[in-house]
Amino acid sequence: MLFNSLTYALFLPIVVALYWASPIKLRVPILLIASYIFYMSWRPAFILLIIGLTTVNYFFGFKIHKSEKNKKPWLFAAVATNLLTLSFFKYAYFLNDVLVSALKPIGMAPPAMPFDIILPLGISFFVFEFIHYVVDVYRGSEPIKSFLAFSLFASFFPTQIAGPIKRFQDFIPQFLSPAKFSIKDLDSGVSLILLGLFKKVLLADNLAFFVQGGFQHPELFNSLDLWIFTYAFAFQIYFDFSGYTDIARGSAMLFGYKVPINFNLPYLAKNIAEFWHRWHISLSTWLRDYLFIPLGGSRGSRWNVYRNLMITMSLGGLWHGASMHFLIWGVFHGAMLGLHRIFKEGRTWLADRGHGWLSAAIDSKVGTVLSMLFTFHVVCIGWVLFRADTLTIAGDMLRKLFFIDSIAGNAPALAMALPAINYPLIYPAIFLLLPVLALSHIIMGYVDKTKWVESSPRLVKAAWCCALMLMILVFSPDKSPKFIYFQF
């Protein structure tokens, strides 16, 4: 059941109505049943997986909490169970491929996979929530007593498939002291859902079609064209994922629950570290708390910190998908974070010796804009590795993006193929659309940040909702692809 489907448009109001019409005691069970129905609408059998993992982690939570001396083995067992489950479903083919390529040169090959493995939807997200739970219980948090509440924490349908990755300390209290019905929450929830749908079906889906052409056939295009495709993907993935998050948060709000934000104007980040504080916030904070810090974090020698960054980001890359290009995307971000750290240290070193000019230049208005542009382009290069179907395509694109083909004399540097293409409409329209999207990133962020909609007069808010509804009704494409993060 996709958020942008008619089925969800019918399912959600029914569950909301049932929830608020029921006595308080029945509300959590109703939400749990709805969440299981939501999950089963894809492949009913996988409900056993989510129930199984819920039961096992609930048990581990108590074992870890109760064990005075043997906490660590229980924690190890809990984390291993979750990671092995994730690895089996997500990485079995990848590991098999790696093994094949490693053994082939010496004339050996592992047997072919005896069965097909289907990746259960949302597994990467709920497994990370379980790991967070057992680790935090190990660190001293009280385990969740109610099995019902724990089950709902893991399966809550608005965040079930692609997050945001929740923290039980924030979420469980909301179950235990349920919110009262409020028109304000209902209004905020619906307007967030409308905004999310607008981002997904009107912006991301239209851009998806454009991006597909460039990333499938980079051979047709020159350097400047490919930069436009890359910018378009940067906006597509942002609108797709932040649109999904808005719908998830809005849906949760309809039941009176607050779910953490996941994005905060990521393309306005002034450096790569700041980007990761603004992009997929629930994942980056998870990686920080449950991978980077346990590895040693920023403590220890400089090389240890670089190593920790590299391990964290590489595994973060692999979390997105069992594929080399995701791993390299993670390595790229690890390297960029390392370089940023070196640059930051250099800046401090210079400032300590009375050369504050570099800091002053960077902190100036022009410096800030240039930093943002530079960071955006670094992120875009990463997106090429992320989006390209194969490393060969990524390599071809990057070679052209850096004008290497032009320098080698194989392609004219400034010639563009895009202007000659007038169909589909998104091709000629992209030249108008991209500047508007860049601006909209700032405007939408401003709208979110200042809570402009909520603080506006009622009539303005109503007009805003009316405009969103109208645009979604009229301009949605006939086919809407799945959310990008559903595959992870």
d(CA 378, CA 373): 9
Amino acid at 7: T
Question: Is 305 near another protein (CB under 8 A)?
Answer: no
Locate tokens 């306005």: which residue? 268
Query: In whole angstroms, how close is the CB of 424 to another protein at the nearest point?
Result: 5
65 Cβ partners below 8 Å, 6+ apart?
137, 142, 143
- With respect to another protein, which residue has the nearer C-beta, 265 or 471? 471
Question: Is 44 near another protein (CB under 8 A)?
Answer: no
Question: Is 190 near another protein (CB under 8 A)?
Answer: yes
Residue 169: in which H helix or E strand, if any?
A: helix 168-176
Query: In whole angstroms, how close is the CB of 421 to another protein at the nearest point?
Result: 5
Question: Is 408 near another protein (CB under 8 A)?
Answer: no
Q: Is the peptide bond before 424 cis (omega within 30 degrees of 0)?
A: yes
User: 208-227: which residues touch another protein (CB under 8 A)?
Assistant: 209, 212-213, 216-217, 220
User: 413-442: which residues touch another protein (CB under 8 A)?
Assistant: 417, 419-425, 427-429, 431-432
Catalytic residue among 132, 217, 280, 320: 320
276 Cβ partners below 8 Å, 6+ apart?
284, 333, 337
In angstroms, what CA-CA distances link 201 with 40, 157, 196, 244, 472?
A: 24, 20, 9, 10, 7
SS (H, E, C) 119-159: CCCCHHHHHHHHHHHHHHHHCCCCCCCCHHHHHHHHHCHHH
Site string for another protein, 336-375 (x = CB under 8 A): ----------------------------------------
Query: In whole angstroms, how close is the CB of 205 to another protein at the nearest point?
Result: 11
Number of residues that bind another protein (CB under 8 A): 40
Site string for another protein, 453-482 (x = CB under 8 A): -----xx-xxxxxx--xx--xxx--xx---
Binds another protein (CB under 8 A): choice among 6, 24, 48, 408? 6
**Active site (annotated) includes residue 217:** no
d(CA 320, CA 308): 19
Closest C-alpha among 163, 385, 158, 437 to residue 280 = 163
Q: Enter the DSSP assignment of 292.
A: I
Residues at the site binding another protein, with contacts judged by CB under 8 A: 6, 183, 186-187, 190-191, 209, 212-213, 216-217, 220, 417, 419-425, 427-429, 431-432, 458-459, 461-466, 469-470, 473-475, 478-479
